[in-house]
Amino acid sequence: MTETHISDFMSIQKTRYGKCLEPKMECGNDAIRAHSVQNATALKLIEESNHVYEIGMKVVAGKPEPSLDLIGRKKASTFLGLCANHDASIFKAIDTKPLSPDDIEQLFLVAYRSVTRELHTVLEGAMRVQLGYQMLVSKGKVSADKPSAPGMEAMQHMMKAWSVWKYRYKFFDPIFESKKYSQIKHSVFKFEGEQPCLAASSFFSVDLKPWGKPFAALILNIIPSGPTETTVIFSYAGAHSGRARKYTAPVMTQKGEGRKYELSYMLINRAENFFLSPRIVDAWSGKKKETVVNACIQSVFGSQPKRVSDLMLF
Ligand SMILES: [Zn+2]
């Protein structure tokens, strides 16, 4: 697939929906449930009785209702973004050998998986909203010829999907082909001496620009990497170093508990697709659970949660 206009992009995606999102976007195979966080190693280190916690979001009577939900480890972090062949071949270097913070191919692939998961998430969102809009149009509840709230919403989701695809197309796909992995930059550190309790594979814009315009992104992976070790990786395109470093500064300039708190706050404030060990969540008070869940919903609606001590996730 080559650089394309948004309308062409969306019509191509409509015919390819559910298909593999490999780098060239040409594979005709159906996508399978692939893990964005390594299931066998990383999630196994935080599970209890084969389960982990995630922040779930349900819509009840038109209002979003967040909750802390236990989900099976096999299902956690999965996305329908790649076919079995591409999932295995693209990520071979991270799925078949232990993660090394000095291996730039591995660091690139960890980030590439997060970007690909995000691409799948936003495409799925765009398709779903578009379908809802078309249904309203076909029932005569909304005019296709006049601006309407559902029409605008469908357009915004499309712009987001198109933006994320253009981001991967410009900054990640060429590196996958050329293997010039050093063009993606990383800040890597570890928490050592404690049992891992959190895993994440997240992608977010650090610009707060409207979708459709070029943006700088940050990719955050938190990977339980040993019985008493968690590896944290921030990744970004070299062209976005300045903005990404500014965004990660509150975490990078802290040490110890302060660093864990800043990372927790960033996760709650910006990210999704993070998973918590039942070992720690079950020990939280009801008030703390409520504070964390409410802060997540606040950030979904664009406001910054208050910096209270209960937002510490580690
Ligand atoms: Zn494929």
> Residue 46 sits in which domain range?
25-122+175-311
| Domain presence at residue 77 | yes
| Domain presence at residue 246 | yes
| Domain presence at residue 269 | yes
| Domain presence at residue 2 | no
CA 221 – ligand 1 centroid, Å: 24
Overall number of domains in the chain: 1
| Domain presence at residue 91 | yes
First-to-final CA distance of the chain: 42
pLDDT in tens, the chain (314 residues): 666 677 777 777 777 778 899 999 899 999 998 888 876 678 999 999 999 999 877 777 767 677 899 999 888 888 889 999 999 999 999 988 889 999 999 999 999 999 999 999 999 888 888 888 888 999 999 898 888 998 998 898 899 999 999 999 999 999 999 999 999 999 999 999 999 999 999 999 998 788 888 899 999 999 999 999 999 999 999 999 999 999 999 999 999 999 999 999 999 988 778 999 999 999 999 999 999 998 988 887 778 899 999 999 99
CA 87 – ligand 1 centroid, Å: 7
CA 287 – ligand 1 centroid, Å: 45
| Domain presence at residue 103 | yes
Whether 313 and 276 have beta carbons less than 8 Å apart is answered as yes
| Domain presence at residue 134 | no
CA 7 – ligand 1 centroid, Å: 24
CA 83 – ligand 1 centroid, Å: 4
| Domain presence at residue 184 | yes
Backbone phi and psi for residue 85, each to the nearest 5 degrees, phi listed first:
-65, -50
Whole-number Cα distances in Å, 97 to 41, 65, 114 = 10, 39, 18
For 121, the 3-state DSSP assignment is: helix
* Nearest to 205, CA basis, from 223, 219, 186: 219
Rounded to the nearest 5 percent, the helix, strand and coil shares of the chain are 45, 25, 30
Q: Which residues surround ligand 1, an ion (CB under 5 A)?
A: 20, 22, 27, 29, 83, 86
| Site of tokens 């062949």 | 85
